Structure 1
Amino acid sequence: MAVALTMARMKLAVLCHAFHGTRAQTAGTGAALGVLFAAATVGLAFSGPDLLAAGYTVWLLGWMLGPVFMGGGDETLRPEYFSLIGLPPRRLATGLLVAAFVGVAPLVSLTALAGLLVAGIGVGAANAVVAVPAMVLQLAVFVLLSKVTVAVAGLALRTRAGAIVFGVLNGAVLAALGQVWVFFWAFGQTGVPAAVWYLPSGWGLLAVQGHWWALAALAVLVLLLVGAWAALLNRRGGAAGVSTRGRRPITAATPVGAVVAKERRTWSRDLVRTHQLTFALSYALCFAASPLLLGWDGMLPYAGPIFVVMAAAMAANLYGTDGTALWLTITIPGASDVRGRQLAWLSAHAPVAVVLTVALTAVTGGPWPPVLALLPALLGGAAGLVPLISVYGLVPGTDPHRRAGNPLRTSEDDGALTGQAYLMLALVALTGAPAALVALRYGWAGVAVGVLTGVLCWWGFGLLAERRLRAHGPELLQVMRTGRKPRAMTRSRFNGLSKTRKTIAWWCFGFGSIPLVPQGIVAAVFVANDMLRHSWFLATYLPPALRYPAAAAFILLGLAMYGAGGWIVKPSSPRSRPAHG
């Protein structure tokens, strides 16, 4: 117990000194959103136990899948830090478990689990007393399942086969969650599935309702998970593996060719990138194929564009994942590193996207103009935005050779990575909007618009990224080395803004994608294909005369939110800056 309390105090001390500046703002925004979701979950206790059980299932999936997708989870205290102490694996696991309860996420989750107490009070006094240990055990299950999932992922990413299999599974699970309405509809499920009661997330609620065995089951599950985590910690160590296949020497006649060859070699050897590419492919195929359960194949042709958007989001921090190797780039004058990376990214993703799009569109018999218009537009937009976002919003990453036992941990700032990925999703989708709208209205003319916008995005965004890299290369390297941005780089963004303006900007950037993509673009596609009254897409529930206007209004709202956020943080003009004597 002394070791566990010491680790908890260490975690608290690190957190007290770590959250400042932009990271504190990100954590504050995440905490505020978490409290809102927690309050909504507690509110489900007044609506019925079925809804509350479903809500806790969502929390369980969030704890298990969130860290896998967003940087490997919280590792303020890494197991490697204590390798020289000689602690037994189970004692180390217990100490890290106690320390894992210190933080914003566990506190928010415990608030959401207060719904058990509300449900217990509604049944009786004894049930309310049982709710207290049920809350603690349920939270322990959430945390431990998260730790075990991340540990299994870390082991899987040590081999190429493991990286591929884990990427396929992750993509399939996330796509199934995104298309859960399809499964409900296909299997005639109109309410909350009965399965939520049998998942570990529902055992605490079962205990509160008088099934006392569920409380013992939670305690046993906690002990089993601690043992499993201890065994996984004992196997943890070393960095993510790379392919050991023989390779021909890298040869190139031009600086750009050298960058392309180096990047293509990295895409084929770095198992984290292999996992990301496989995840994007699996997500796209499963997401597009899910409506086949309903006998509708209209989404299959869009698997290629979906793959491009998801792959771009996974590569949003392209320069950050290279770590301090950035010094190799900035010390070679005249080498067009950005153009080389753009070509390498296209060579790794464009063939897959083209094959998916052409093959699945041929199987379904169309629609050819919208699909062929979207594909080049999105490919060009992604190839331009990937380097642009990564140099303007660079998140300091862990050097590949220092990823240690958790290869998913490519950065110390998970919140920034998450926001960067969502921003990339929205921006890449936006680059395909003009071509898609023209194709829907004028047919094959949209293909020409898609090619034109794709080339312009590739060239224009790449040019901006290249200028940024040349002008601020040393500052970006300093960010990679220290994790802190020089004052000159942050002056044009959030420094100097009032707290109110910062909050508004964060909300605009964080939530602009919701009206833009699902409620706007996706809802318009659903309406165009007569897919009505589906899930949470508001336009599909409105009268015919209001469907397209509602979708258009959401698109404009999303664009307005991003525009407002950009206007708030844009650099001030020299004339508006006060003179300094």
Structure 2
Amino acid sequence: MAVELTMARMKIALLRHALHGRRAQTAGTGATLGLLCAAATLYLAFTDLDLLAAAYAVWLLGWVLGPIFMGGGDETLRPEYFALLGLPPRRLAGGLLVAAFVGLAPLASLVALGGLVVAGARQGAAAALVAVPAMVLQLAVFVLLSKVAVALVGLAVRTRPGAVASGLLNGALLAGLAQIWVFLVAFEQTGVPAVVYYLPSGWGLLAVQGRWWALAALAALVVLLLAVWAALLGERSGTTRRSGRARRPMTAATANGAIVAKELRTWSRDLVRNHQLTFALAYAACFTTSPLLLGWNGMLPYTGPIFIVMAAAMSANVYGFDGTALWLTLMMPGTSDVRGRQLAWLAAHAPVAIVLAVACTAVTGGPWPLVLALTAALLGGAAGLVPWVSVHLLVPGTDPHRRAGNPLRTSEDDGGLTGLAYLMLVLVILTGAPAALAALLWGWAGVAAGVVSGAACWWWFGLLAERRLRSRGPELLDVMRTGRKPETTVTSRFDRLSRRRKTVAWYCFGFGAIPLVPQGIVAAVFVANDMLRHTWFLATYMPEGLRYPVAGGFMLLGLAMYGAGLWAVRPAATRQDAPDAASDAAARESAPDAPSEAAARQGAPDGS
């Protein structure tokens, strides 16, 4: 156990030194959300065991799919770090497994799995005792399934067919989860299906219910997954197979043409970009075609626009993915590759988006103006926002030739990449909103509005990205090379707050929307339309006389949280600014006869 405990202590030390600044804030937000989900899962253990089994299935899917979509998962300790120690693969896998239990995600999952103890205690002392090893084994299954899934996808994306296949599979799975309601209605499933108990996520619950074979099955699955992961760790150090085919030389008559040729070659050869492109395609196609199971084709025409939005989100960190290759552009002062990257992005995505939009809309017979307007506006908006967001909110990435044994690991900051992707989703959708509104109001005139707005976004955001790259290019290169943001002497009011007030403001502004919008405004709308007992909206479960008061209370709570956030920011900044102004005044009064700095620079004599 010496190796395992050493790796666990290494993980603790690394986390202790790494969690500061923005990473600490991101980790705090994630931990809060995770613990809230865990608390909701624990509540189900007191009320409905069927829903508890379904919740554990969702936790399992989160462990398996989450790391794949967010850059390869937690790799604070990488297998490559221990390559020279000569550890056997199973010993290495065991040590990394113990270290994987250290972290915020395992902690939140362990709290959620505490529902097994609650479920066991409801049936007797013996069942409660069985729940304790079931919790540990169930968590080990979660972690090991996550590690095996990431390792398998990492091996798959080392070849082009594997990258394409994994992208298609992951996109289809995520779209299926987003449209789960379709499958429930299609198969007339009004309750929780019994099959969730027999998934690996439900074996712990079966064990506490008296089916002892489930506990043995969990232990056997842990041993099997550990052996599979050890074998995959041995394969991880292998090299990527290189193609022996001769490549046509790139020819271009202009500088922008050379950039376009280089980018298109990258889109065709970089396996991570292949994975991202096919993921966006599979997600859009599966998301819009799944309602066909119910005989409804109303979402089918929007396959093209959804593909554009997802593709933009996946490529939001395009400069970060290239790593320190930016120095090639900076060696030519006054130049920029933004326009070339925009054209290459359109060349790689526009044909697919246009074919999807036209073909799917032709199947349903419309709405042609809305779909064409959205397609044009979103293409221009995405092509403009991709470089703009990348140069303003750059997440330092790993150079492609240093991606080690996990090609999905394109950055050390998974939280930053995830936030960037969500931000891009919102921004791209906003660029299409004016064209959609124009198409709804004026029909075919909206298509012209979509073309104009798309071209304007392409040109304007590209211009802003060019200016940023020319003025801050060396700083961006340093960020990508070192992974650290440059220090600046300009501080905002938020930066000058105490740690306690920063924490209050962060949580109030970050979570104030939850009680205000979904639990308040949306719940009130549901109650007004007699949509009762609706998912997680608490007011819809209340007795008739309490529904509107509960929704109103949540609205007041959300407004109070935003008010508390403003209170935490403004008073502290005012109090800190005042001493600075007073000290400046005192400094001026202390030396009334001193010659001015401007006079000294001009060589004026004292007293003149």
- Name the residue aligned to 1:529: none
Structure 2 residue 151 is matched with structure 1 residue 160: no
1:551: which partner in 2?
none
Residues 241 and 271 of structure 1 are in contact (CA less than 8 Å); yes or no, is this contact kept in structure 2? Answer: no
Q: Which residue of 2 aligns with 1:123?
A: 123
Taking a change above 3 Å as real, the CA distance of residues 434 and 536 of structure 1, as seen in their structure-2 partners, is farther
Instruction: Note if contact 2:267-2:348 (Cα within 8 Å) is conserved in structure 1.
Output: yes
Structure 1 residues 54 and 227: alpha-carbon distance in aligned structure 2, compared to 1, 3 A threshold: same
Shift of 1:319: 0.7
Q: Could you tell me how far apart the structure 1 residues matched to 2:512 and 2:348 are?
A: 31
2:37 corresponds in structure 1 to 37
Task: Tell me: CA distance 1:103–1:501, structure 2 relative to 1, closer, same or farther (3 Å).
Answer: closer
**8 Å contact from structure 2 (residues 186, 294) kept in 1:** yes
Residue number in structure 2 paired with 1:381: 381
SS in 2 for 1:418: helix
The structural deviation recorded for 1:486 is: 1.0
**Correspondence for 2:22:** 22
Whole-Å separation in 2 of the counterparts to 1:262 and 1:242: 19
TM-score for both structures, normalised by structure 2: 0.84
Residues 438 and 449 in structure 2, CA contact (< 8 A), matched pair in contact too: yes
The CA deviation string for residues 10-56 of structure 1, in whole angstroms up to 9 with x for no partner, is: 11111111111111111111111111111111111122110001111
The answer for the alignment partner of 1:412 in structure 2 is: 412
* Counterparts in 2 of 1:477 and 1:235: CA distance versus 1, 3 Å: same
- 1:348-359 matches, within 5 Å, as 348-359=348-359
Q: Name the SS for the 1:190 alignment partner.
A: coil
Distance 2:64 2:304 in 1: 28
2:448 corresponds in structure 1 to: 448
Compared CA separation, residues 420 and 515, structure 1 to 2 (3 A): farther
Q: Is the 8 A contact 1:120 1:208 kept in 2?
A: yes
* Partner residue in 2 for 1:368: 368
Structure 1 residue aligned with 2:250: 250
Is the 1:237–1:405 Cα contact (8 Å) retained in structure 2?
A: yes
CA distance in 2, matches of 1:444, 1:401: 48
Task: Summarize the Cα distance change of 1:41–1:493 in structure 2 as closer, same or farther, 3 Å threshold.
Answer: farther
Shift in Å at residue 492 of structure 1? 5.7
* Contact 2:319 2:390 (8 Å CA) reproduced: yes
Moved more, 286-295 or 320-329: 320-329
The Cα shift of 1:336 comes to 2.5
1:286 corresponds to which letter in structure 2? Answer: C
The CA distance in 1 between the partners of 2:89 and 2:463, in whole Å, is 51
Query: SS of the residue aligned with 2:496?
Result: coil
Alpha-carbon offset, residue 455 of structure 1? 1.1
Q: Secondary structure at the residue paired with 2:262?
A: helix
Equivalent positions of 1:133-172 (< 5 A) are 133-172=133-172
Question: Counterpart in 2 of 1:403?
Answer: 403
Residue-by-residue CA offset, 1:367-411 (whole Å, 9 max, x unaligned): 101101100111111111111111111111111101011000001
Question: Identity rate of aligned residues, in percent?
Answer: 70
Q: Distance in 2 between matches of 1:513 and 1:326?
A: 40
Contact 2:370 2:439 in 1 (8 A): yes
1:219 alignment counterpart: 219
Partner of 2:203: 203
Deviation at 1:299, TM superposition (A): 0.7
Alignment of 1:167-206 (within 5 A): 167-206=167-206
Residue 598 of structure 2 corresponds to none
What's the offset of the Cα at 1:330? 1.8
Do the aligned residues in 1 keep the contact of 2:327 with 2:477 (CA within 8 Å)? yes
The residue that corresponds to 2:73 in the other structure is 73
* Corresponding residue of 1:112: 112
Cα distance change of structure 1 residues 510 and 253 upon mapping to structure 2, 3 Å threshold: farther
Range with greater deviation from structure 2 (169-178 or 321-330): 321-330
Q: Which residue of 1 aligns with 2:49?
A: 49
Q: 1:466 matched to which residue of 2?
A: 466
Unaligned 5+ residue runs, structure 2?
Answer: 526-530, 541-554, 588-608
Q: CA deviation at 1:208?
A: 1.1
Q: Residue 221 of structure 2: SS of its match in structure 1?
A: helix
Shift of 1:488: 2.3
Read off the aligned partner of 1:55 and give its amino acid letter: A
Any idea what SS the aligned residue of 2:304 has? helix
Task: Give the greater-gyration-radius structure (CA).
Answer: 2
CA 1:317–1:75 in structure 2 vs 1: closer, same or farther (change >3 Å)? same
CA deviation digits over 1:526-559, x for unaligned, max 9? xxxxxx9998699xx9xxxxxxxxxxxx9xx9xx
Moved more, 271-280 or 460-469: 460-469
1:136-180, Cα deviation, whole Å (9 max, x unpaired) = 000000000000000000110110000000000000000000000
* Greater CA drift, 330-339 or 133-142: 330-339
The 2-side partners of 1:478 and 1:160 are apart by 32
CA contact (8 A) 2:336 2:470 kept: no
3-state SS in 2 of match to 1:143: helix
Letter in 1 for 2:256: V
Give the 3-state SS of the residue equivalent to 1:83 in structure 2: helix
Paired AA for residue 4 in structure 2: A
How many angstroms does 1:132 deviate by? 0.8
Paired amino acid for 1:320: G
SS at match of 1:46: helix
Amino acid at match of 2:34: G
Which residue of structure 2 lines up, in the alignment, with residue 312 of structure 1?
312
How has the CA–CA distance of structure 1 residues 401 and 334 changed in structure 2, closer, same or farther, with 3 Å as cutoff?
A: same
Q: Which has the higher mean CA deviation after the structures are superposed, 82-91 or 500-509?
A: 500-509
Partner residue of 1:546? none
Q: Answer yes or no: is the 8 Å Cα contact 2:342–2:383 preserved in 1.
A: yes
**What is the letter of the counterpart of residue 26 of structure 2?**
T
Secondary structure (helix, strand or coil) at the match of 1:181 reads helix
Letter of the structure 2 residue corresponding to residue 115 of structure 1: G
CA displacement 1:109-139 (0-9 Å, x = unmatched): 1111111111111111111111111110000
How many aligned positions are there?
A: 544
**1:413-444 C-alpha deviation (Å, 9 max, x unpaired):** 11111111111111111111111122122211
User: What secondary structure, in the 3-state scheme, does the structure 2 residue paired with 1:487 have?
Assistant: coil
SS at match of 2:29: helix
Task: Please name the residue that 1:5 is paired with.
Answer: 5
Distance 1:368 1:232 in 2: 49
Aligned to 1:549: none
Paired residue secondary structure (2:407): coil
Measure the CA separation in 1 of the matches of 2:510 and 2:408.
25
Q: Is the 8 A contact 1:305 1:374 kept in 2?
A: yes
Q: CA deviation at 1:463?
A: 1.2
